[in-house]
Structures are given as C-alpha cells and as structure tokens.
Structure 1
Amino acid sequence: MIAGSIAKILKTYHANTASPAIAMTISEDQRVLYSNATPQQDHFFESNFRRPFSNWKANVGLKNTNLDELARNSFLHSAGATLLVVVFLLCGMALTIRATDREARLAQAKSNFVANVSHELKTPLSLISLFSEILELGRVNNEEKKAEYYRIIRHESLRLNTTIDNILDFSRIEAGRKTYQLVDGDMADVIHYVLSTHRYQIVNSGFDIQTDIQPDLPSVLIDRDAMAQAISNLLDNAIKYSGKVKQISLTAKTLASNLCVEIADHGIGIPRAEQARVFEKFYRVGNGLVHDVKGSGLGLSLVKHIIEAHNGTISVESDVGKGSRFRILLPIAASVPSANDA
C-alpha cells in the first residue's frame, strides 16, 4: 500500500519517474518501500528525505545502461552534430569561395574585354585618321597610291563597323532583344560577299584563300546579315591566329540533310582542354601567342548564338601548332520558323 502511494505521488510530481532509463528505490532502514526496477550498476545517487520521513532513503540508478555508456552515447551524439555543422560550414565556405572566384574571373574577363575592345576601336580609327589626313593635305600625287590609301580607309571602316556590330549584338543578346529574320537564302552568295569585304586584308596580309563551294547549293533559311557576320568572325579569327603558313580553306557542301560550311587555317591551334570553352563570352585561350593578338572575346560566342538561332550547330577540331577547323551545320529542310527570337 505504501509502495502504491509513493508511486502515485511520484507520478504526480514527476511524470518521467517510470522512464525505462531510471531505476528508483525508496527504503526505510533495510526495508524496501518502493522500487520500479533494479539498476544495471550500483545506484549513482543517494539522499535522505526530510522530516517527518528522515529515516527514508532514496536511491537512483540507471536501468538499461550505465554512466560510461551514457557518457559515450552523449559524446557520440554531440560529435555527430558537431561534424554535421562543420560539414555544412565547409560546404558553405567552398560555395562562397567558388562564387567569389567566379566573380573575380568574370570581372577580370570584363576588364580585359574593355582593354581589348579599346584597342580594337583605336587601331582602325588611328589608321583612318592617318591616311585621311595624308590625302587631305595633298601629300600623295600618285593616283595608284591614293587608291591604295582609299582602300585602307574603307577596309578599316569595315573593320571598325564589324567590331561595333559585335558589341551591339552582344548587348542585344544579353538583354534578350536580339531577333533574326530568316528567309530563303544562298550561302554561296553570303560567302562570296564576306570574301569580297576581306579582299584587301587577305591580299595585304599575303594570305592564300582556297575556296571549294559546291555548285547548286540548296537554299537554307537564314538571316543574311547575321550569317555574314558569323562567317566574317570566323574568317577574321583564321587570319589573326594563323602562323607562318598563311593558307586558309573555305568549303561549302551538302552533308546528309545539312548544309556544311568549314573554315580551316594552319595557325597556332587550340588546346583540346579549352576547345569546349572557346564559344563562351569573354573567354580567350590561355596561350601566350593568343594574347599577343588583341580581340574582344565576343566573336565566337556571337557565332554560336547566330548558328543556334538558325537551328544549326558549330564545332571545332584543332591541334596546337597545326591549326583549327570550324564546322557549321545548317538544316536544309524548311523546318525553321520565318522569324526566330533569340
């Protein structure tokens, strides 16, 4: 009866008294008044009650475990929680460092872009200013020399216009406002037009352009100006990055259900590890020979955007020191919409 009353009182004031982890015994002298279980080891806590039960003693122990095991489990739980927090912190630090590094590289790329574009704009402007001043002052009496200076001015004007077009198109692409008007077009005409605009640069630089354009090429849906810009950018790169072998080949043919255009040079080439990245904006190959030639880092990214807007693909094959070959594939079938928003 006493044991039942004690258990009832204990449950009233401490609802967890019957917890399977706690073993409690209340005794008077050697007589047990209440016990809910036998501890696994000796009791770890003993205390006498106050009056009027001063001859009662409470002993508390652990039923299914011991202090060493309890401490070990507590340590393991704390260590696991700490390890989890450390892992989350390390992951957060890694992501922060990665984001910071990416932002730093992008900032550096933009800085290089500004420097390179400034050079790309300044060079033709300087030549235009120089030769126009010479002509204006009447320092050239030879008609053939005058014609040559006029050709230089015209070529540098076209070069300047190309650079500005690339920058403006890049801006429109970034803002999502670049559109293309696709109509039936003749790629052979586009290629011949691009070659005619580069004739002075090709001849003046001593290049030999070998063309192999298949007769009666099927028409494809293209934005003529955009496609001319893409071919022009590829041809510019072939000229700028050619080595001592100043030979460029340009071919156009049908390949299965596609029209294939290839531009190949015998220049410095692109390392295999970097070939997948040359179409990224601002990216320039990490090669000292490449950085000797100024460029905006936008040309190939614009080419990729233009070709993909025509439902086509562009790829590159290259070996360092042997040259590069860029291949454009455009679908012949009239499956492209008449206007393509990029």
Structure 2
Amino acid sequence: MSEKEITEQPSYEMLISIFHTALHEIGVPVNGVVTAATFLKREIESGDREFVQELLQMIFSAANNLNDIFERVREVIRQENQQNFQIMETHFDFRKWLDNVLLSISALFMDKAISVVKQVTKDFPLLIYADKVYLTQIVYNLLMNALKYSAAGTVVSVTCSVGTDTFSIEIADQGAGISAAELPLIFQEYRQLSNGFKSQLGGIGLGLSIVKNLTEAMGGVITVKSEVGAGSTFTVTLPLRSGPA
C-alpha cells in the first residue's frame, strides 16, 4: 500500500465512532422487523388475517426506513467524515412520513403494552422541506428512549405543531423521569441514567447524543423537561422552510 493510500485511510477512532453510531441507528428498525416478524409467525398460526396484513405493513415500513438509514451511513463512511453531517433536504408529506415511522416500530410498543398517541395540529403544513432520513433518526431515538424508560401500560404521546417559522415535534412519556442533577448530562455520548432501568434495558447511551447532533446539524434545537417519577418531554424545534435557501 502506498503512503498516499495509507494517509487516506480513516483513523481507527473514526471507524469505531462510525461503527458504534451505525450499529445503534440500524438497531431500531431491525428490532422493529424482528418483533413484528415474531408477532406475524404467531398470528399466521392463529389465522387473524387482518392483523397479519398490519404486521406485514409494519415490517415493510421498518425495512424501508432501515434501507434509508443504511444508505446514509454508507455515504458517511465513503466520505470518511462522520462529524460533518451532510444535509439532504427534500419536500415530503409530513403526516404520511410520521404514520410510517410510528407504524414501523409499533410492534416494539405493542410488545411492551405501551400506547402511542399522535396529534398533529390542523395548521401543520401538508409538505415540509427537511432531511427526512435524519428526521426519522431523531424521532426513532426519542421514541426508543421513551420506550426504554416507560413501564407497561403507560402512554407515549407525539405532538407536532407549527410556529411562524419553525415546526416542533414533542415526545412525552410517563416513565422514570430524569433527576435535576442528571438533566444537563443526558446528551453526552455513552451516558445512561443511573436508575434501575439501566441494567434492565441496556443500551450504549448514544441515542440522545445522536438526536442533539442531528437536530443542531439541521439548524434546530432540542429541549427537555423532566421530573423523577413523572416522565419526560423532549421537544425538537426545526426551521420551517418552503425550499432551498
């Protein structure tokens, strides 16, 4: 291998960072596929044709999102620069996109008997201009965080609203909540809450760090309100634009 080829190779630290992030990001839709497939096998045997069709749609939605994330990760690796997020904005139907995201991981919430309630305000535009793949990753990670720290039988709400020049996605749970001491630290990489849910549910503490990085790369901000024992509310606010600047 020539000296030029050696110097062009990504560093070990960069490869490890890419690997950990990619592993975390593809894990959500993969788990959605596996869980829905498990339900599907059982329902095929029981003969509930309507639920079988719903499960097939869950698998199809999760697989499509998995492919989108995989293609973006592959592009990042090709560019060998995972720190500079490449924004790829398009116009898309927000409500259809949100329905697809929720459907693709609904089996995970079903498996834990947690309900997901969605609300999109009437004045929310039909089409938005944003990076759909990164927005999917943001919502995936916030929903999985809610799932991770919520008990069976509780509710997770997804509320989408629009301002003068911004739109917001709020995800609230009725879970364990976050102490005031830990709240400033939750967006650090590999950080997990020091409560009993950690050992029960695992994870490597990348989700909220990824959410913060992607939100800021898209020109937005993320805020959180939480109280121990009363759940958490994460709000992502992003620019509302009609097209390229």
Q: TM > 0.5 between the two?
A: yes
Instruction: Specify the code of the residue in structure 1 equivalent to 2:111.
Output: N
Q: Is 1:262 the equivalent of 2:173?
A: no
Alignment partner, residue 313 of structure 1 = 221
Give 1:329 deviation, angstroms: 0.7
2:108 to 174, 187, 201: 201
Q: Is 1:323 the equivalent of 2:227?
A: no
Alignment partner, residue 190 of structure 1 = 97
Say if 1:245 and 1:203 are closer, same or farther in 2 by CA, change over 3 A.
Answer: closer
Describe how 1:134-149 pairs up with structure 2 within 5 A.
142-144=46-48, 147=52
**Helix, strand or coil for the counterpart of 1:181?**
coil
Q: Report the number of matched residues.
A: 216
Instruction: Specify the code of the residue in structure 2 equivalent to 1:192.
Output: D
2:179 to 253, 257, 271: 271
**Gapped runs of 5+ residues in structure 1?**
1-109, 338-342
In the alignment, is the contact (CA less than 8 A) between 1:188 and 1:217 conserved in 2?
A: no
**Distance in 2 between the 1:312 and 1:305 partners?**
10
**Distance in 2 between the 1:184 and 1:228 partners?**
14
2:117 to 204, 210, 218: 210
Say if 1:253 and 1:141 are closer, same or farther in 2 by CA, change over 3 A.
Answer: closer
Give 1:255 deviation, angstroms: 3.0
**Distance in 2 between the 1:288 and 1:262 partners?**
25
Q: Is 1:176 the equivalent of 2:90?
A: no
Say if 1:268 and 1:254 are closer, same or farther in 2 by CA, change over 3 A.
Answer: same
**Distance in 1 between the 2:95 and 2:66 partners?**
23
In the alignment, is the contact (CA less than 8 A) between 1:207 and 1:247 conserved in 2?
A: yes
Alignment partner, residue 3 of structure 2 = none
Describe how 1:29-178 pairs up with structure 2 within 5 A.
142-144=46-48, 147=52, 154=59, 161=66, 168=73, 175-176=82-83, 178=85
Alignment partner, residue 13 of structure 2 = none
**Distance in 1 between the 2:175 and 2:215 partners?**
23
Give 1:265 deviation, angstroms: 0.3
Q: CA RMSD for the aligned pairs?
A: 4.3
**CA offsets 1:125-151 (integer angstroms, 9 cap, x no match):** xx68x96xxx7xxxx854449949x76
Alignment partner, residue 31 of structure 1 = none
Which structure: larger Rg? 1
**CA offsets 1:255-290 (integer angstroms, 9 cap, x no match):** 343211100000001112222221122111222323
Say if 1:178 and 1:310 are closer, same or farther in 2 by CA, change over 3 A.
Answer: closer
**Distance in 2 between the 1:179 and 1:212 partners?**
30
Give 1:181 deviation, angstroms: 0.6
**Distance in 2 between the 1:267 and 1:213 partners?**
22
Give 1:189 deviation, angstroms: 2.7
Instruction: Specify the code of the residue in structure 1 equivalent to 2:134.
Output: A
Alignment partner, residue 210 of structure 2 = 302
TM-score (norm 2): 0.68
Give 1:216 deviation, angstroms: 4.2
**Distance in 2 between the 1:143 and 1:244 partners?**
27
Say if 1:264 and 1:285 are closer, same or farther in 2 by CA, change over 3 A.
Answer: same
**Helix, strand or coil for the counterpart of 1:276?**
helix
